[in-house]
Amino acid sequence: MSKRGSVLSKFQSFDAYAKTLDDFRVKTYYGAALTIISAILICLLLWSEFSDYRTPEIKPQLVVDKSRKQRLEININITFPHVPCYLLSVDVMDIAGETQNDLAHDIYKTRLDPDGNQIHVEKAQDHTKEIHKILNDTTQGIDEPFCGSCYGGEAPESGCCNTCDEVSEAYIKKGWSFNDPDSINQCVKEGWKEKVLVQSKEGCNVAGSVRVNKVAGNFHLAPGKSFQQNNIHVHDLQPFLSDSVNHDFTHEIHHLSFGPKVQGVVNPLDGIGRTVSQGHYMFQYFVKVVSTQFHFLNQTTIYTNQYSVTQYERDLTGKDTSGHVHSHQGGLPGVFFNYDISPMLIINREERKSFTHFLTGVCAIIGGIFTVAGILDGFIYNAEKTFKKKKFI
């Protein structure tokens, strides 16, 4: 027994937390206050630590983007207070040579009155009902199909120009200016001049999405009918320049994103607007697009894009304003978005902190607060004793 007691005695010598007898312990009111405050702080900090443990964190990783064959979706929502919808053309072109003129698929134009209130929503270039009505009115009493004249313009593949727009496009392809719609039977029947007069003081909101190649390119919103002539992208500015109303490209970008919307991703151009009083102004936004992936804890993955942007604007006053077919090479009024695709890919992984990290934080909070509280308690106790001694002396 003596040997066992000797071993236990030696083992007890390793105790770093030596105990004092209860008779020698002194309890004070400030010690009680420090204990209560410490307990409250520990509870608050433990709750904060637990919340932080339960909140996932995003860890980014930068790698080379190998998904070059995918298509890129561009989402737009832009308002032009002083340009009517019939004058606006949405076009896309890229360095691969692909061109999309006067986009109609998934692009919606909303006519706005001078106060900015919505008048009418229509899909771009969706005039099917109007065309059928015109054709029915024109072909009443005629057995053979109607084939409208192109009035010397370059006819489409069908050989017929049955609408005012088709005649206008035939003129433009021929290199002629379409400046006398009153002499065109199709335009007279459609009431083209009256519709233009009614809409001349309106604004337009353009919203929708465009799918493009994942290569550098640009999409723009500019006045006049757009088309290709000798592999050159051109616009007929005659309707824009001949209108008595002073149209300008004051605009507000409500939304511009590349790819699906992801909560927390900031689009730099959202809410940006520019105001001008002159019609011949060219706004250019140079956008650098970076592919981005989000991998969430629930095993879902979202593929989207982030971008940075710089901007430039130019006054085109004094340039070619003759009203004839105009190439954008020398400058074209409108809003241009020149985008470039980064070769890098950002992968954001959602991760949760490990339990050992949480446990370490808990121990640090409890130990730290009790240690600091003990130091404060000892300091106050010794200070009180010193003060009492001096008082008695």
pLDDT tens sequence across 279-329 = 788 899 999 999 999 898 888 888 889 999 999 988 877 544 444 444 444
Residue 145 pairs in a beta bridge with none
307, β-bridge pairs: 289
Question: From CA 333, how far away is CA 94, in angstroms rounded?
Answer: 20
Position 173 in a domain: yes
Residue 260 falls inside a structural domain: yes
> How far is Cα 78 from Cα 335, in angstroms, rounded to an integer?
10
Residue 184 domain-assigned (yes or no): yes
Structural domains in the chain (count):
2
Domain limit, last residue, from 317, 332, 350: 350
Q: Do the domain assignments include residue 137?
A: yes
Q: Is residue 262 part of a domain?
A: yes
The residues, ordered by sequence, that sit 6+ positions from 59 with a Cβ below 8 Å of its Cβ are: 348, 349, 351
What pLDDT is stored for residue 290 in this prediction? 93
- Closest by CA to 72, choosing from 337, 300, 298, is 337
Q: Are residues 181 and 208 in the same domain?
A: yes
- Say whether both 364 and 298 belong to one domain: no
In this structure, the answer to whether residues 345 and 369 fall within a common structural domain is no
**Residue entry with tokens 């940075």:** 308
- Cα separation of 68 and 178, whole Å? 41
The answer to whether residue 10 sits within a structural domain is: no
> Do 107 and 233 lie in a common domain?
yes
Please name the residues in contact with 382: beta carbons below 8 A apart, sequence gap of 6 or more: none
Maximum alpha-carbon separation in the chain: 130
CA atoms within 13 A on the CB side of 155: 12
Q: Read off the pLDDT of residues 156-192 as tens digits, 9 standing for 90 and up.
A: 888 888 888 788 878 877 777 777 777 888 888 887 7
Please indicate, yes or no, whether residues 52 and 154 belong to a single structural domain of this protein. no
201, 219: one domain: yes
Is 16 among the domain residues? no
Q: Given a cut of 90, is residue 385 above it in pLDDT?
A: no
Task: Specify which residues 301 forms β-bridges with.
Answer: 295
Look over the chain and give the mean of its residue pLDDT values, rounded to a whole number: 80
CA 301 and chain centroid, separation: 19
- Tens-digit pLDDT profile for residues 103-149: 878 899 999 988 888 886 665 555 444 444 444 554 444 445 778 88
39 and 110 assigned to the same domain: no
Distance between the two ends of the chain, CA-based, in angstroms? 54
pTM for this one?
0.69
Domain extent, residue 345, equals 62-350
The DSSP bridge partners found for residue 315 are 281
Q: Are residue 38 and residue 127 in the same domain, yes or no?
A: no
Does residue 17 lie in a domain region?
no
> Which DSSP state fits 24?
G
- Do 111 and 37 lie in one domain? The reply is no
Residues 258 and 286 reside in one and the same domain: yes
Q: Which two tokens stand for residue 290?
A: 């970076």
pLDDT at residue number 331:
75
Nearest CA among 368, 365, 376, 385 for reference residue 32: 376
Does residue 92 sit in the same domain as residue 51? no
The b/e string for 136-147 (b: 16+ C-beta within 10 A; e otherwise) is eeeeeeeeeeee
Residues 341 and 362 in one domain: no
β-pairing verdict for 99-100 and 88-94 = antiparallel
